Amino acid sequence: MNSIAIIGYKPHELNIFNEQDQKITVIQEAIKRQLVPLVEQGLEWIVISGQPGVEMWAFDVVQQLKNDYDLKIAVIPPFQNQDQVWNEEKQQKYQTMLLKADFSQPLTQKSYEGPSQYQTRDKWMLNKTDGCLIVYEDEYGGSPKYFHQLVLQYQEKKDYEMFQINAFDLEEIARDMQESGQFEYDQS
C-alpha cells in the first residue's frame, strides 16, 4: 500500500469546540496507532482535503511521524479558497498546512459552487489512493457518511482497504492513555 486518504468528522460533530480538548489527543493517538504499522509496511503518502477536524489533526500526526519515517502528505482541497468561510484560527491552520504539505493543489481552480465538488473530491481520493483511514461511527452518520458509503461500493469492484476508527476504539485508547499516565481523561 503506497497511499491512503484520511477523512473523518468535523470538530462540532464530535462536540469539540476548543483545540485544547483532550478528545483531539485521543483521536490523534488513534490515527498514529493506525498509521505506524502501515508506514512500517511501506506506506508513503497520506492524502487529505484539509477540512477542519480529523483531517487537520491527522496532518499534525503526520508531521510528528516525519521525524522518524519517510512519509509525505498531500493536501488536495476540492476547490480554491475552501477556508474563506472558516474562522480565523482554522484559516491560519489551513494556510500553514498548505505551506508545510509535500504537495498541495486544489482539484479545481474554481471557488465553491456546490456539494458536487465534495463528491468529486471523494471519488478522486478513491481513485488516487490504495486505501483510507476513516474516523466514523456507522450509527452516527455525519459528514463522513457519504465517503464511507462510497468506499463500500468501491470495494465491491476494486481492492481497496478501509481502516475505521470508531467510538469504541477511541474509548479504549483513552483508557490506555489514562492508565499510562499520559493525561487525566474526563469521559463526560
Q: Which residue has the cell 493517538?
A: 29
Q: Residue 98: is its pLDDT beyond 70?
A: yes
Q: Residue 108: is its pLDDT beyond 70?
A: yes
pLDDT at 182: 78
Class of domain 3-179: alpha beta
Model confidence, pTM: 0.95
Q: Residue 181: is its pLDDT beyond 90?
A: no
Beta-strand runs (E) in 9-120: 45-48, 72-75, 103-104
Q: What order do you get walking across the sheet with 131-135 strand by strand?
A: 103-104, 72-75, 45-48, 3-8, 131-135, 161-165
**What is the domain partition of the chain in residue ranges?**
3-179
Q: Residue 150: is its pLDDT beyond 70?
A: yes
Q: How far apart are CA 49 and CA 63, in angstroms?
A: 16
Q: Residue 102: is its pLDDT beyond 50?
A: yes
Q: Residue 124: is its pLDDT beyond 80?
A: yes
